[in-house]
């Protein structure tokens, strides 16, 4: 598990480098706020398409080959981004990068392979901690490399740095990562009837427990992705910030996320259970989003970000843990890929929706709308707990 954690961490530092500067990069090519939202969404659209396929391939051929393939592709996508000299090429680079990012389902399946049901939430939290640390180190590096002035930012250097980090992750996986899925299980999975992506997605949605879990995953990611896509534009208009300041703030969010998912997630899951953590996380996310429009000064914004980081940090591993516990070993990679597809579909629609609200209604409306959606998530999570209790009686 530790080796996978390090590989995912290095790769996600590269991903995090891009986050604070991508909206400014798009605006450098005269993109509107709604176009920025679409640019953020295109990455997730191709990830949505790729995730179930890569998840099923990892069930058949093993987790390691899929991770190696996608890490090499991610490095290439950042190189293409660094050489982008138009908005169209920037879109193409992000689309290709999103396809390679469909490997996250295989990473979660790897964790499910090497953990038991009792410690799976802790294992999922470990990968979540890699995300958190990636968002600590990556945005800070990206902001420093790009510079504080959005009008004169260096967009090529951060992209090439991200490419180098994904390359390092590939080398680590090549020489250090062992396969988690036995040859016997792979052969058995290969002999199973193949299911098309849509059929697999529909099957997951129609299962009594799995379907609501996938829906909650979609909605919580939907609002968080909308916040990520529009926040740099919001902070530029509110505080006059550029990539560097946004990088530091996202790094702060990453610190909180890493502390919670890397150190506290296992204890929280044992004390409260995954379903209660989903409810708590939904309430926290709603509060954080609602506070952003009222953050006229930095201290209030810090409070809002603490709520956001805490909420999203406990929702994600809790959902992944429950999904892995409600599917069989032979379909774990595929169904975690479906869950990841729901998350990435949310990252397609969330930024598009938030960008539209930002452009049409004003800079605060993505956060008002996101808070309202999170109240729906809380209601769904409460209903899920009641349904599970009824089915157990």
Q: Give the tens place of pLDDT for each residue, 109-161.
A: 788 777 776 777 677 777 767 776 776 788 788 888 887 776 778 889 999 99
The structural domains of the chain, with segments of one domain joined by +, span: 2-177+194-392
Q: Which of the residue ranges 21-25, 34-38, 251-255, 389-393 would you say has the lowest mean pLDDT?
A: 389-393
> Please, what sign has the CA dihedral across residues 352, 357, 363, 369?
negative
Share of the chain above pLDDT 90, in %: 23
CB atoms within 10 A of CB 325: 14
Q: Which residues contact 36 (CB under 8 A, 6 or more apart)?
A: 23, 26, 27, 229, 230, 233, 351, 355
Q: DSSP characters for 212-251?
A: HHHHHHHHHHHHHHHHHHHHHHHHHHHH---HHHHHHHHH
Question: Taking residues 168-195, what's their average pLDDT?
Answer: 75
In CATH, 2-177+194-392 is 1.20.1250.20: yes
Q: Strand ranges (DSSP E) for the chain?
A: none
Q: Tell me what the mean pLDDT of segment 281-299 comes to.
A: 94
The larger pLDDT score, comparing residue 77 to residue 20, is at 77
What tokens appear for 277 in the block?
Answer: 């953590």
Residue 287: is its pLDDT beyond 90?
yes
pLDDT, average across residues 367-392: 77
Average pLDDT, the chain: 82
pLDDT at position 333, please? 63
Q: Examine the pLDDT at 370 and tell me if it is beyond 90.
A: yes
Taking the C-alpha atoms of residue 117 and residue 107, their distance in angstroms, rounded to an integer, is 17
Model pLDDT, residue 389: 40
Tell me, what's the pLDDT at 88? 94
pLDDT band at 386 (very low <50, low <70, confident <90, very high): low
pLDDT category at 200 given cuts 50, 70, 90 is: low
Alpha-carbon distance values, 290 to 147, 245, 300 (Å): 30, 22, 11
3-state helix, strand, coil in the chain (%, to 5): 85, 0, 15
**pLDDT for residue 344:** 74
Long-range interactions of 65-69: CB distance < 8 A, separation 24+: 66/103, 66/106, 67/7, 67/103, 67/106, 67/107, 67/110, 67/173, 67/177, 68/170, 68/173, 68/174, 69/103
Residue 307's H or E segment, with its range, is helix 298-325
**Predicted pLDDT of residue 10:** 79
Displacement of CA 42 from its chain's centroid (Å): 14
Q: Does the structure show a pLDDT above 50 at 390?
A: no
- Give the pLDDT confidence score for residue 337 in this predicted structure: 67
Q: Is the model more confident about 85 or about 53?
A: 85
Q: Is the pLDDT of residue 265 over 70?
A: yes
pLDDT of residue 309 exceeding 80, the answer is yes
Q: Residue 393: its pLDDT value, please? A: 35
């Amino acid at each position: 598990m530790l080796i996978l954690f390090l590989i995912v961490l290095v790769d996600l530092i590269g991903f995090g480098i891009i986050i604070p500067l991508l909206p400014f990069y798009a605006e450098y090519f005269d993109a509107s706020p709604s176009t920025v939202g679409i640019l953020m969404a295109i990455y997730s659209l191709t990830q949505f398409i790729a995730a179930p396929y890569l998840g099923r391939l990892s069930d058949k051929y093993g987790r390691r080959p899929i991770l190696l393939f996608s890490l090499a592709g991610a490095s290439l996508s950042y190189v293409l981004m660094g050489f982008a000299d138009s908005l169209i090429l920037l879109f193409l680079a992000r689309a290709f990068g999103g396809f390679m990012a469909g490997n996250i389902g295989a990473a979660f399946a790897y964790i499910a392979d090497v953990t038991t049901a009792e410690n799976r939430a802790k294992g999922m939290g470990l990968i979540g901690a890699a995300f958190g640390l990636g968002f600590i180190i990556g945005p800070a590096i990206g902001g420093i490399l790009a510079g504080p002035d959005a009008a004169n930012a260096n967009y090529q250097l951060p992209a090439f740095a991200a490419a180098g980090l994904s390359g390092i992750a590939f080398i680590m996986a090549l020489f250090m990562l062992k396969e988690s899925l036995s040859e016997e299980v792979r052969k058995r999975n290969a002999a199973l009837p193949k299911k098309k992506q849509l059929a697999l997605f529909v099957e997951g949605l129609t299962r009594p427990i799995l379907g609501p879990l996938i829906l909650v995953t979609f909605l919580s990611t939907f609002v968080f992705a909308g916040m990520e896509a529009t926040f740099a534009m919001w902070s530029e208009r509110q505080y006059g910030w550029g990539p560097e300041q946004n990088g530091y703030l996202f790094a702060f969010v990453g610190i909180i996320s890493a502390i919670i998912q890397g150190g506290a997630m296992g204890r929280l899951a044992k004390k409260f259970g995954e379903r209660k953590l989903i409810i708590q996380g939904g309430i926290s996310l709603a509060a954080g989003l609602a506070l952003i429009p009222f953050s006229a000064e930095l201290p209030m914004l810090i409070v809002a970000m603490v709520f956001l980081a805490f909420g999203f940090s406990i929702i994600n591993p809790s959902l992944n843990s429950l999904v892995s516990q409600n599917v069989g070993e032979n379909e774990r990679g595929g169904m975690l890929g479906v869950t990841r597809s729901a998350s990435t579909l949310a990252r397609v629609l969330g930024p598009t929706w938030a960008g539209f609200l930002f452009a049409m209604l004003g800079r605060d409306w993505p956060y008002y709308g996101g808070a309202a959606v999170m109240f729906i998530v809380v209601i769904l999570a409460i209903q899920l707990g009641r349904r599970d209790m009824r089915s157990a009686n």
